[in-house]
Structure 1
């Protein structure tokens, strides 16, 4: 029996995953958490074989959350389940200690397959992520502007590109309007763009949003 913990700030996502996992004879959900802090509490309270971790949660970002979890439980396999495409985070998180990375749009059966792979002590690498990892080994490869952004800057960029206002973004990320405005200015400067409409055009052109 593979003991699974689900960490996602959306109750409906946790419920859906728990229901699907309960239909698998070899999986058992032993705990759920809605934040990185609650995930750390789970590690103290439960024996866990695989943790399924959402990338974007209020408060602590995915990279920081992963680092905290791996510091507490270095041997615990962590499967990142993200709403962001692989191109944005996969290689960074795998280098930071994640054992697998899947987009939330994937087939639920693939999540189960990944969990079983991680429980055997192996990484789960999709063909798309394998290609990205291969590209990072090419010293001559130039980074695109959005690849130079930090995790939080990338979150701000994608929200703005989808049309969110600074106020909406501040509420969604649990940040002050002033902090979001600072991130916006930093993103525009790093990407050498002048407006939110240019961010949207860039994101669409590069397949980051539809």
Structure 2
């Protein structure tokens, strides 16, 4: 039996996933969380085999939670779910340690396949994403600029784009204001942007935030 935790701030989506997954004889939803703090409580208990993690949540983003899970339980498979088009995020999240990535509008059977795949310790990407990654081989200069960001830079970028201030970021990430400012400067340089409003526009344009 594959034990699953669903981490998403939308109760109706969790209920829908729980009901569908319960119909599979080898899958069981044993835990749910609506935010990153509750998700880490589940991970610390060590009672799940796969985490289904939403990319967009209040407080900690899915990227933040993924980083925390990787630090706490590096072998625990994390399958990312998002309302964003997979092409915008998949390559970056796989590089940051996700086991797979699916759009929330995917075929339910594909979700089941993904859960079973990552539970076996393998990565999961859709056929469309595999084709995109194959096409990108040897064409590194065609990659979106945000795929150049490190894990911490991506965290800072998404939070700034979402409206957080440098001071708020410093507190939530337990970093100094100077350090966060340095990360912000690196992000701006890599993305060729000049202001926080530019960051927000870039994130919206590329489907990285809603």
TM-score where L is the length of structure 1: 0.67
Cross-structure match for 2:60: 59
- Work out the CA distance in 2 between the residues paired with 1:129 and 1:154: 24
In 1, are the aligned partners of 2:5 and 2:30 still within 8 Å (CA)?
yes
* Corresponding position of 1:162: none
Match of 1:12 in 2: 12
Shift of 1:148: 4.5
More displaced 10-residue stretch of structure 1: 182-191 or 31-40:
182-191
Gaps of 5+ in 2: none
Deviations 1:181-209 (A, max 9, x none): x8999877754567999889877987879
Per-residue deviation at 1:53?
1.2
- Paired with 1:91 and 1:151, the residues of 2 have a C-alpha distance of 13
Q: Deviations over 1:91-122 (max 9, x none)?
A: 12212322211011212221112112223333
The corresponding residue for 1:45 is 45
Could you tell me how far apart the structure 2 residues matched to 1:69 and 1:90 are?
22
- 1:48 is paired with a residue of what secondary structure? coil
Specify the SS of the correspondent of 2:9: coil
Q: Aligned residues, how many?
A: 197
1:126 match: 126
Q: For each residue in 1:23-42, what CA deviation from the matched residue of structure 2 results, as whole angstroms up to 9, or x when unmatched?
A: 22221111112223322221
Relative to the length of structure 2, the TM-score reads 0.67
Q: Which moved more, 1:148-157 or 1:24-33?
A: 148-157
Q: How does 1:128-167 map to 2 (within 5 A)?
A: 128-135=128-135, 137-138=137-138, 140-148=140-148, 150-152=153-155, 155=158
Listed as ranges, the gaps of 5+ residues in structure 1 are: 160-164
Q: What is the CA distance between 1:63 and its match in structure 2?
A: 4.4
Shift of 1:131: 2.9
* Residue 102 of structure 2: aligned partner: 102
Contact 2:136–2:142 (CA<8 Å) still a contact in 1?
Answer: no
